[in-house]
Structure 1
Amino acid sequence: MFVVTGNTGTGKTSVTKYLNDFFEMPKVITHTTRKPREGEMDQVDYYFESADSFKQNHFLEQVDYNGNQYGSSKEGLERAFEKNPLITIVLDTKGAATYLEALPEDEVVVMYLTVSKERDLYQRLVKRGDDVQSINSRLSSEEFVRDAQLPAALAAKAHVVVNDDWEETKRKVDAIVKQAIQPKVD
């Protein structure tokens, strides 16, 4: 399982889409109570839930972020593994740490995405269509501050990818995947 984590606007969705397109890794569809952005589809981008339906799932991890609930369910993991033995999931850093604790270490590969200039994140959020008030709220949230740095729980295990240049990012991701899936020699 390839866990893609990092701060908002660092390219988690783009890297996950690349893993899906290039390596045919299905994305674990996670749950959220937030409203879909333009172009997002239920059961493709997220399971868009009401507050009540969200509570009906069996979560491995869940978090309140920017006033909305997010979580990854055991059922979502099973659906992805039915498609392929290699899967990918987008999580915040707290969720990534939970996966490292809850699952066998050799089954989880964490990629922490970052950018070299934090101000670039604002422009990326504007470009993807987030409204200015939402962006400002997100950039001042506790979660943003938390995810802006690689947490100690991930430091020794995560592959840090600086996503300033998309072609370079793809090369780094390719190398991480190839290293992870090559057979282990005793």
Structure 2
Amino acid sequence: MSNSGHPKDSGRRRGLMLVLSSPSGAGKTTLSKMLLEEFSDVKLSVSATTRPPRPNEVDGKDYFFKTADEFRQMVANHEFLEWAHVFDKYYGTPRADTVARLRAGEDVLFDVDWQGADALHDQMPNDVVSVFILPPSIEALKDRLTLREGSTPEMVARRMEDAKREIMHWRRYDYAIVNDDLNVAYQRLKRILLVERLKRLRQLDLEDHVRALLGEI
């Protein structure tokens, strides 16, 4: 699918940062893939990392692969919107790549937890649109996690505890969607994207248009 069936935006616009969070198993990854398939001008954020590339991973497309020294220098230079140290590896969102995409009128999709969402909002509050994906019930979430390949009762129990901690932060987000029906949840997510694109601050030609209307140009 492409976004050719959608009405064309009039004038130039600044892209937005669409931040999605959810507990594991609530459907965030599936919804993200659906959005990326339909909208060619929505791009997944590319993180920098110090972990080695996996087979078929491409530098600059899947990740920006950095040495630990390079990453720490980027931290010192304030080049990240947010970053974290996980299992002896560093991960971070380079500011320059995101800003370039926004200026080009592309929307950048982020798959982060509530702490990452907070950090992104603190750095670029006018650009972030945050959405929390909620499961229809705790029982449904447990069933989804149990059915995952390789799941054990211990893993499910740990993920359920993690899920409850994540859900506690849902009020921090601009929007919340209950993913009871995947297609309904996706239509709601899509409407959020399309409406947020129309916000006054993202319409780059409006100032000149209004000045022309008032005879100032």
Do these two structures clear the TM 0.5 threshold for a shared fold by scoring above it?
yes
Q: Is 2:164 the counterpart of 1:145?
A: yes
CA drift at 1:131:
3.8
**Secondary structure class of the residue paired with 2:107:** coil
**Secondary structure class of the residue paired with 1:87:** strand
CA drift at 1:13:
1.6
Partner of 1:172: 188
Does structure 1 conserve the Cα–Cα contact (< 8 Å) formed by 2:146 and 2:153? no
Partner of 2:155: 135
Kindly provide the amino acid, as one letter, of the partner of residue 164 in structure 1: D
Does structure 1 conserve the Cα–Cα contact (< 8 Å) formed by 2:26 and 2:179? yes
Does structure 1 conserve the Cα–Cα contact (< 8 Å) formed by 2:170 and 2:176? no
| Aligned-partner Cα distance in 2 for 1:40–1:132 | 29
Partner of 1:15: 31
4+ residue runs of structure 1 moved beyond 6 angstroms?
33-37, 48-53, 65-68
- Per mean C-alpha deviation after superposition, the further-off stretch among 10-19 and 82-91 is 82-91
Q: Structure 1 74/110 Cα, relative in aligned 2: closer, same or farther at 3 Å?
A: same
Report the TM-score when normalising by structure 1.
0.71
Does structure 2 conserve the Cα–Cα contact (< 8 Å) formed by 1:111 and 1:158? yes
Kindly provide the amino acid, as one letter, of the partner of residue 45 in structure 2: V
Partner of 1:102: 123
Does structure 1 conserve the Cα–Cα contact (< 8 Å) formed by 2:136 and 2:180? yes
- Per mean C-alpha deviation after superposition, the further-off stretch among 92-101 and 117-126 is 117-126
In our comparison, the structure showing a higher alpha carbon Rg is 2
Does structure 1 conserve the Cα–Cα contact (< 8 Å) formed by 2:132 and 2:170? no
CA drift at 1:93:
0.9
- Per mean C-alpha deviation after superposition, the further-off stretch among 130-139 and 1-10 is 130-139
Does structure 2 conserve the Cα–Cα contact (< 8 Å) formed by 1:112 and 1:150? no
| Aligned-partner Cα distance in 2 for 1:125–1:111 | 21
Match 1:162 to one of 150, 172, 178: 178
Partner of 2:81: 60
Gaps of 5+ in 1: none
CA drift at 1:2:
0.7
Identical-residue share of aligned pairs (%): 24
| Aligned-partner Cα distance in 2 for 1:136–1:34 | 26
CA drift at 1:3:
0.6
Kindly provide the amino acid, as one letter, of the partner of residue 116 in structure 1: P
Report the TM-score when normalising by structure 2.
0.63
Partner of 1:86: 107
Q: Is 2:138 the counterpart of 1:118?
A: yes
Gaps of 5+ in 2: 1-16, 201-205, 211-217
**Secondary structure class of the residue paired with 2:169:** coil
CA drift at 1:15:
1.9
What is the number of equivalent residue pairs in this alignment? 180
- Per mean C-alpha deviation after superposition, the further-off stretch among 43-52 and 120-129 is 43-52
